[in-house]
């Protein structure tokens, strides 16, 4: 926060604090102390930075209120009084549906919060608020709200709203838009401390993504594309205020560390709102055995059989994973070792507590040679399960609580557009398939084997992956038209299943984004019941895209370039789609 306030001119400084896992953590906090449930780190940041923000006229908008936005607003006022700062604080509430969850068909979760939109934030800003905190609004809403307040947009301005949603989506994860977690990170200068992104939003909803001068990292068409493909599904990016058509996004170079987003088209929002539901699924524990040297498979089989015999009755769920990280004739002991991980879950904490971890350690002198574990035994811990629910837009009592305490009801949109759950809904761009029957759209035959060379997919393609509850997405994109024609014809659902065998039995949906030269694949069920319960090596699927890029595929020889001579997107803006768009602005940037 200091870096952003000190680095240059800003109108609004936003913050996104509410990942799906965070809501579970806040829910457990609230169980221990009913006065908690907000992001305490935000309050600590304000202790250092509130005075600077007020002095410089920077408005602060964040969703750090979590499950207790009113409580956080009171804490900020108390903090301002202690610091001798006069500041107008407002908050947005109404997302919390926990008291009505059962009546709304949402079960009996630990938390139940609807994803609200931006108009409550805008109403607070219209009333002169300098600090606005919210509960569970969409990640982009903290960006869209200030734009609505600045430009006076109404719910009918769906194109402008959609453009701001896209800008908000790009900057919501901070430095992921400036080189963080970027596949071509070796092309980014000074990535040790990338600067945070800034969205300059115009009155028509178009925007420029940039960062403060002198900060590390980079803003390029590639880094922006990476974030556009993060945790999305198909071309329709649903939001409570507008549905943004990601297949209409056009990116162009606007100068050093500046990328323009234009051409975004919007549709009326869906009639329902997504609800984040977290429940306590039970208790879990785990142990990782180190298997060194020869006979790794036999060692794994022995300890697995021994522990299975010891756990009677067995836990409700037992999952084993053998990671063959070992190398033959290794020159270090670590390089000679594999890891065998066992994860157990059960409604009874005693079943996965010391009874489990004790049984594992008691094998130490009676099992495979070289027995070792990576950590000492411990008790089981509770885990959460995330599920999405849906309610009508009118169900939450969306309320803006203004600085003077006035409560203003925010009406739900009156015009909505139903969206089918069918991924092949007419109007969606690109071809999808559950069964691998995708047919490449190309007028020419593919290259013969003699015209290809086996190389990692990442030789040409970048990727970004992430989690959505129990599902994962992986977006893959390339930088030239020729590469795109090859990628869209070659990277089919069947190809994905072969390259990522863990997806072989799961449902996949594939979407194309021609403007971005990108393909997005949603893998349903890869993460089980969500991040907090997962036993997968990569429980949030953040490395899924990099695994895909590492797989060797037949790449046409004419597309292979010397990596040392490969142009970066910042140096070669023509390597991206720059379809002509009217980028004339009708107002000062927000």
Cα–Cα distance for residue pair 351/558, rounded to 1 Å: 59
Question: How many Cα atoms sit within 13 Å of 288 on the Cβ side?
Answer: 14
- DSSP β-ladder status, 59-62 and 131-134: parallel
What are the structure tokens assigned to 155, written together?
């719910």
For residue 262, the cross-strand partners are 250
Closest C-alpha among 558, 462, 478, 490 to residue 515:
478
Cα–Cα distance for residue pair 66/28, rounded to 1 Å: 12
For residue 132, the cross-strand partners are 61, 90
pLDDT, residue 111, reads 94
Cα–Cα distance for residue pair 490/208, rounded to 1 Å: 33
Cα–Cα distance for residue pair 493/497, rounded to 1 Å: 6
The string over 527-543, giving b where at least 16 C-beta atoms fall within 10 Å of a residue's C-beta and e elsewhere, is bbbbbbbbbbebbbbee
Q: What are the residues whose beta carbons fall under 8 Å from the beta carbon of 453, sequence distance 6 or more?
A: 554, 555, 557, 560
**Tens digit of pLDDT at every position of the chain (590 positions):** 999 999 999 999 999 999 888 888 899 888 888 888 999 999 999 999 999 999 999 999 999 999 999 999 999 999 999 999 999 999 999 999 999 999 999 999 999 999 999 999 999 999 999 999 999 999 999 999 999 999 999 999 999 999 999 999 999 999 999 999 999 999 998 999 999 999 999 999 999 999 999 999 999 999 999 999 999 999 999 999 999 999 999 999 999 999 999 999 999 999 999 999 999 889 999 999 999 999 999 999 999 999 999 999 999 999 999 999 999 999 999 999 999 999 999 999 999 999 999 999 999 999 999 999 998 878 888 888 888 999 999 999 999 999 999 999 999 999 999 976 444 433 333 334 444 333 333 334 455 666 999 999 999 999 999 988 889 999 999 999 999 999 999 999 999 999 999 999 999 999 999 999 999 999 999 987 765 556 677 888 999 999 999 999 999 999 997 543 333 333 333 343 333 333 222 333 33
pLDDT, residue 590, reads 39
Instruction: Mark out the alpha helices in 180-243 (DSSP H runs).
Output: 221-228
Output DSSP code: residue 216.
Answer: B
> Are 545 and 464 spatial neighbours (Cβ–Cβ below 8 Å)?
yes
Q: Count, in order, helices (H) and strands (E) of the chain.
A: 13, 25
Cα–Cα distance for residue pair 548/381, rounded to 1 Å: 32
Hunting for tokens 């993060």 — which residue is that?
230
pTM of this structure = 0.88
Cα–Cα distance for residue pair 370/349, rounded to 1 Å: 30
The values of phi and psi at residue 63, to 5°, are -100, 25
Q: What are the residues whose beta carbons fall under 8 Å from the beta carbon of 412, sequence distance 6 or more?
A: 392, 393, 394, 398
pLDDT, residue 442, reads 37
The string over 237-258, giving b where at least 16 C-beta atoms fall within 10 Å of a residue's C-beta and e elsewhere, is bbbbbbbbbbbbbbbbbbeebb
Sheet containing strand 89-93, edge to edge, reads 12-15, 59-62, 131-134, 89-93, 399-401, 407-409
pLDDT, residue 538, reads 83
Cα–Cα distance for residue pair 497/228, rounded to 1 Å: 24
> Does an H or E element contain 53, and which?
helix 40-56
Cα–Cα distance for residue pair 358/408, rounded to 1 Å: 57
Angle in degrees, 0-180, between the axes of helices 40-56 and 69-83, rounded to the nearest 10: 50
Output DSSP code: residue 396.
Answer: S
What are the structure tokens assigned to 443, written together?
């007028």
Q: What are the residues whose beta carbons fall under 8 Å from the beta carbon of 253, sequence distance 6 or more?
A: 221, 259, 260, 570, 573, 576, 578
What are the structure tokens assigned to 177, written together?
């838009």
> Does an H or E element contain 389, and which?
strand 381-392
Q: Is the peptide bond prior to 313 cis by the omega test (within 30 degrees of 0)?
A: yes
Torsion region of 514: left, alpha or beta (phi above 0 gives left; psi -120 to 50 gives alpha): alpha
Hunting for tokens 């409550």 — which residue is that?
120
pLDDT, residue 79, reads 98
pLDDT, residue 539, reads 81
pLDDT, residue 222, reads 97
């Amino acid at each position: 926060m200091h870096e952003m306030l000190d680095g240059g001119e800003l109108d609004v400084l936003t913050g996104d604090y509410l990942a799906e896992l965070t809501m579970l953590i806040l829910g457990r906090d609230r169980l221990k102390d009913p006065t908690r449930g907000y992001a305490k780190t935000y309050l600590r940041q304000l202790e250092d930075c509130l005075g600077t923000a007020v002095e410089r006229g920077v408005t602060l908008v964040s969703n750090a209120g979590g499950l207790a936005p009113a409580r956080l607003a009171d804490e900020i006022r108390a903090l301002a009084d202690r610091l001798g700062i006069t500041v107008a604080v407002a908050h947005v509430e109404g997302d919390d549906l926990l008291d009505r969850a059962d009546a709304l068909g949402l079960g009996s979760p630990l938390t139940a919060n609807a994803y609200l939109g931006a108009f409550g934030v805008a109403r607070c800003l219209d009333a002169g608020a300098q600090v606005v905190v919210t509960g569970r609004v969409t990640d982009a809403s903290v960006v869209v709200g200030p734009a609505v307040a600045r430009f006076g947009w109404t719910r009918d301005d769906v194109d402008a709203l959609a453009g701001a949603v896209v800008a908000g989506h790009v900057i919501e994860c901070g430095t992921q838009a400036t080189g963080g977690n970027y596949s071509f990170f070796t092309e980014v200068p000074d990535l040790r401390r990338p600067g945070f992104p800034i969205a300059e939003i115009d009155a028509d909803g178009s925007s420029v993504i940039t960062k403060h001068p002198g900060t590390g990292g980079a803003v390029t068409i590639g880094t922006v594309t990476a974030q556009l493909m993060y945790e999305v599904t198909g071309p329709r990016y649903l939001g409570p205020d507008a549905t943004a058509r990601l297949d209409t996004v056009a990116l162009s170079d606007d100068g050093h560390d500046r990328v323009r987003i234009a051409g975004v088209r919007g549709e009326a929002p869906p009639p329902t709102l997504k609800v984040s539901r977290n429940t306590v699924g039970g208790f879990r524990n785990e142990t990782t055995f180190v298997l060194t040297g020869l006979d790794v498979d036999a060692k794994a089989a022995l300890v697995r059989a021994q522990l299975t015999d010891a756990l009677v009755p067995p836990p409700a769920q037992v999952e084993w994973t053998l990671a063959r990280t070992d190398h033959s004739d290794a020159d270090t002991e670590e390089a000679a070792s594999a890891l065998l991980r066992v994860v157990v879950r059960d409604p009874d904490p005693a079943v996965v507590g010391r009874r489990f971890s004790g049984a594992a350690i008691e094998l130490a002198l009676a099992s495979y040679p070289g027995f070792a574990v990576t950590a000492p035994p411990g008790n089981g811990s509770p885990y959460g399960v995330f599920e999405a629910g849906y309610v009508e837009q009118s169900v939450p009592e969306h309320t803006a609580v203004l600085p003077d305490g006035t409560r203003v009801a925010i009406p739900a949109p009156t015009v909505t557009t139903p969206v089918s759950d069918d991924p092949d809904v007419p109007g969606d761009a690109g071809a999808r398939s559950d069964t691998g029957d995708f047919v490449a759209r190309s007028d020419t035959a593919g290259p013969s084997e003699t015209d290809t060379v086996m190389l990692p997919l990442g030789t040409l393609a970048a990727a970004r992956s992430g989690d959505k509850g129990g599902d994962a997405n992986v977006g893959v994109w390339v930088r030239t038209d020729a590469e795109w024609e090859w990628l869209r014809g070659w990277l089919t659902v069947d190809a994905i299943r072969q390259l990522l065998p863990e997806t072989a039995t799961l449902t996949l949906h594939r979407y194309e984004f021609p403007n971005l030269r990108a393909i997005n694949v949603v893998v349903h069920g890869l993460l089980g019941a969500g991040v907090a319960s997962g036993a997968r090596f990569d429980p949030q699927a953040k490395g899924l895209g990099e695994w895909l890029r590492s797989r060797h595929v037949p790449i046409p020889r004419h597309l292979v370039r010397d990596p040392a001579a490969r142009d970066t997107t910042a140096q070669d803006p023509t390597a991206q789609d720059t379809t002509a768009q009217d980028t004339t602005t009708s107002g000062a940037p927000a």
